[in-house]
Structure 1
């Protein structure tokens, strides 16, 4: 496969529970685009990743002093990612059975997408019920083009924005990373296009008003700025 990438979505390359490890800049670009989550900070709200994996998505928030919660069906948090920081509060949970959030929060994560039919949409719908302010989920761009999800996107909960990662991230299965690191191919550039899907549960977006925004490549630092109307 091109450039050593294994996050193609093909079942033979997938983790059985869709544990894929995104690069830290993926969450960082979301963080910048949403103005450092200033709304959540002003309200004293936490950030919760209910599909935490190793915890990489939460590093940016922990570094900037947010109260961070992580949960998953298996504890795979990597303490090395939080060197010099307080480890996030972790609890075991099947997110689809969660009755409440651990605190007033926005929900940010890289959800499972295929090992159970419809699980990604189920995660989004549950997050929209539990989040205090925003829901941000990173998914393959092709996820938005689906007859099955028409009601989610058009009728029930139109996203506030789709933030396209113009630089493709690498998201290898977590259990393959040690082997890939040994040969220098853990994060060698992606072959799948991704985007952040963002909902503001406090200010629901009207039908046909979803914004599509292209986030700049990492080698364009002068363009890494908050997005007007989202920050």
Structure 2
């Protein structure tokens, strides 16, 4: 999962950074989600994207390299970028929503890791792919081909409220108190695989949540 720490030496060795469920709910508020489609998060971590989609009434499941998700929607340990495909990937109506690892695997730098995960998702999915990424990810010479030549996004959804995305091991220690204000701007990049590519990818700004809701969450974390 892409994280909010900038120092390579301080990053989680597997890029396990945990977004809160509201991050997915806010996307669902602005992006029409397909009915009758299975949603897969192949890097599900603690399962927040899966649970958020399920809370919206969608059939959603998750897999991961590690068993970090205790929910019934966890379909087991699976290497998304490995040679073996999961049975769910053969679904004829599949969307993939995920927070892909950005640059680290077992402590080692893997260049282009998030892009490789996204290209795999576009290959496997039949309907939509939505990837949660830092906004700065858009400005890259190396990813120009992904965006313009190979797979132009159908929409870029910028979160105007910065999400807090601490490492999963910190959450294991501190619980909800680990989420304490975001430091990095994030966005959802969406590919609609059934739609004709547009001349340019439209950009949407998702407004912050109502102030009262944010304050309620702060009090909840402090309890």
Instruction: Please report the TM-score for the alignment, with normalisation by the length of structure 1.
Output: 0.81
Moved more, 67-76 or 124-133: 67-76
| 2:216 corresponds to | none
Distance 1:204 1:126, change over 3 A: farther
In the TM superposition, residue 102 of structure 1 has moved relative to its aligned partner by 4.9
Note the residue ranges of structure 2 that are not aligned, 5 or more in a row: 105-109, 213-223
Distance 1:179 1:99, change over 3 A: closer
| 2:19 corresponds to | 22
In the TM superposition, residue 185 of structure 1 has moved relative to its aligned partner by 4.4
Between Structure 1 and Structure 2, how many residues are aligned? 201
Instruction: Please report the TM-score for the alignment, with normalisation by the length of structure 2.
Output: 0.84
In the TM superposition, residue 8 of structure 1 has moved relative to its aligned partner by 2.0
| 1:88 corresponds to | 73
Deviation by residue 1:60-94 (Cα, 9 ceiling, x = unmatched): 22123322221111111044xxxxxxx21412221
Distance (Å, rounded) in 2 between the aligned partners of 1:162 and 1:69? 24
Higher relative contact order (CA 8 A, sep 6+): 1
2:179 pairs with one of 187, 198, 202: 187
Cα RMSD over matched residues? 1.9
| 1:82 corresponds to | none
Does 1:46 find its partner at 2:38? Answer: yes
| 2:217 corresponds to | none
Moved more, 193-202 or 92-101: 92-101
1:110 pairs with one of 99, 102, 110: 99
1:27 aligned counterpart, secondary structure: helix
Runs of 4+ in 1 over 6 A off after TM superposition: none
Distance (Å, rounded) in 2 between the aligned partners of 1:179 and 1:89? 22
Distance (Å, rounded) in 2 between the aligned partners of 1:220 and 1:156? 40
| 1:61 corresponds to | 53
| 1:3 corresponds to | none
In the TM superposition, residue 219 of structure 1 has moved relative to its aligned partner by 1.4
1:138 aligned counterpart, secondary structure: strand
Note the residue ranges of structure 1 that are not aligned, 5 or more in a row: 1-5, 80-86, 222-231
Q: Is the 2:161–2:208 Cα contact (8 Å) retained in structure 1?
A: yes
